[in-house]
Chains A and B, each alone.
Chain A
Amino acid sequence: MALQSLDIAQRSATTTAMPQVRKTVEVAKLIDVSACIGCKACQAACMEWNDLRPEVGRNVGIYDNPQDLDDKTWTLMRFTEVEQENGLEWLIRKDGCMHCEDPGCLKACPAPGAIVQYSNGIVDFHQENCIGCGYCVTGCPFDVPRISKTDNKAYKCTLCSDRVAVGQAPACAKVCPTGAITFGAKEDMIHHAETRIADLKERGYSNAGLYDPKGVGGTHVMYVLHHADKPTLYAGLPKNPSISATVALWKGVAKPLALFALGAAAVGSLLHYVMKGPNQVSKEIEDEVEKEDAQ
């Protein structure tokens, strides 16, 4: 169900080349954490555009609501209170799919076409091909995909691929009242981030920087962080995310090699049979037994 205006760059469980004649601009969403006021308009807009109605939660004494991402909550404001030298800081991070250039979910997925990456960089789940195994959750370095309890399909932020396909910004970027969320070509977003980082540095945040982790090939959702040296402050944003070594081993060369070895064992058995012949009871022993019977 590829969107006709979006070319596929990678497709889960597919070993042949994807169409790559056309080149499209790589997009990115930039989330400037320092400009976020925690209003949750992005969460509301995400529900509105994507027709999602998560269960109304309960107040457990923190601002995070719901408490975690789920199949119907594709983006979530995570609030962290941090004691710094100059007093208390209230860090707010809009969590959701990072749209990795090298997506661990797509790598882990065994169902052809259940996860695709468009040539603009967006990683999208196609639920009609999803089999509900949860391997995407296992593969994700950011703990983002969620399996629905009702239909056993995996869900996460689509970066509003349907909107982007027709030249619109994602709903969250469209609605953000402070301009903390911007959307455009990745190159432009990096330039925009640089001006923001320069501004933050002038204001005393000497460690301000861009979060575009190289361990996953860069991401198509990037953050401007005032403490880019300590991303884990922001509700556990991983410092050097990468696809887990066990997932890489599981989905790497080991499997084709194992298949080759099993195929070789089967062919080898056949060759052994035709070259060495069957292991039959010898005529000698058969005669011995017959002789005993005759007695």
Chain B
Amino acid sequence: MIRDPRDLQRYTASERANHWMVGICFILLALSGLAFFHPALYPLAELFGGGAWARILHPWIGVIMAVLFVVMFIRFAGNNTMGAADWDWLSKIDRMVDGDDHDMPAQGKYNGGQKLLFWLLSISMVLLTVSGVIMWRSQFDFSTGLIRLAVVVHAASAAFMIGLILMHVYAAIWTRGTVRAMLYGTVTRAWAKQHHREWYRQMTGKN
């Protein structure tokens, strides 16, 4: 169903499916992981059938997420290389947050904040995957010293990544007209012109 044929295609169907599969994995991993993060959140384990089931499922969901994340990384990395305009954008982020985007430099498909988030999420995923494998006692047998390091890295990078995703989700909600890009694939031309002027130029040939 096409609402307006002149809307701009931002994500293909398979990109959207990839993103949401990763998203679902993230939500399941965050809920089951937080159950072990602090006793106050242990009841979350019941969502997975109890503590033992949460312990069994968490690493397998992690494997699925890691694979899907690699696919997503390959798809999106090219559009996420940081340039001078991106650092310029980031240096003015306080004004953006304050609700005034008039002076923000024109951005390509992704703005500096989105690009930075992309790389921070990628680093978090690497740390979580490597430390997670080391901690996975039912499958692997690493030394206690290494596991002690891995559990700290896993907990710290997980908390960091949950913080990043909170920011990611809020930015998508705050910037009206954004969520539909990931749900239906398209954005309005006005949306593109306002938030990603450079991308708008590329897509429409207009200024």
- A binding-site residues for B, Cβ under 8 Å: 13-15, 110-112, 129-135, 137-138, 143, 147, 152, 244, 246-247, 249-250, 254-256, 258-259, 261-262, 265-266, 269, 272-273, 276-282, 285-286, 288-289, 292-293
- Residues of B contacting A279 with CB < 8 Å? 99, 101, 174-176
- Residues of B contacting A292 with CB < 8 Å? 206
| Besides A258-B156, A262-B162, 13 other A-B contacts (C-beta < 8 A) | A110-B36, A110-B42, A137-B147, A265-B163, A269-B166, A273-B170, A273-B173, A278-B176, A279-B99, A279-B175, A285-B190, A289-B190, A289-B193
9-residue interface stretch from B47-55, B85-93, B119-127:
B47-55
Q: Pick 30 A–B contacts, CB within 8 A, sort by A.
A: A110-B36, A110-B37, A111-B42, A111-B51, A112-B42, A129-B51, A131-B55, A132-B137, A133-B55, A137-B144, A138-B144, A152-B52, A244-B148, A250-B155, A254-B155, A255-B37, A255-B159, A258-B155, A259-B38, A259-B40, A259-B159, A261-B163, A265-B163, A265-B166, A273-B174, A281-B176, A281-B190, A281-B195, A285-B194, A289-B193
**Interface Cβ pair total, 8 Å cutoff:** 130
Q: Is B177 in contact with A281, judged by CB distance below 8 angstroms? A: yes
- Residues of A contacting B194 with CB < 8 Å? 281-282, 285
Q: Which of A15, A111, A247, A273 contacts B40 (CB 8 A)?
A: A15
Kindly state the separation between the CA atoms of A256 and B45 in the bound complex, as whole angstroms. 18
Kindly state the separation between the CA atoms of A112 and B36 in the bound complex, as whole angstroms. 10
Q: Is A278 in contact with B174, judged by CB distance below 8 angstroms? A: yes
Main secondary structure of the interface of B (DSSP, over half): helix
Interface centre among B35, B42, B55, B195 (most CB of A within 10 A): B55
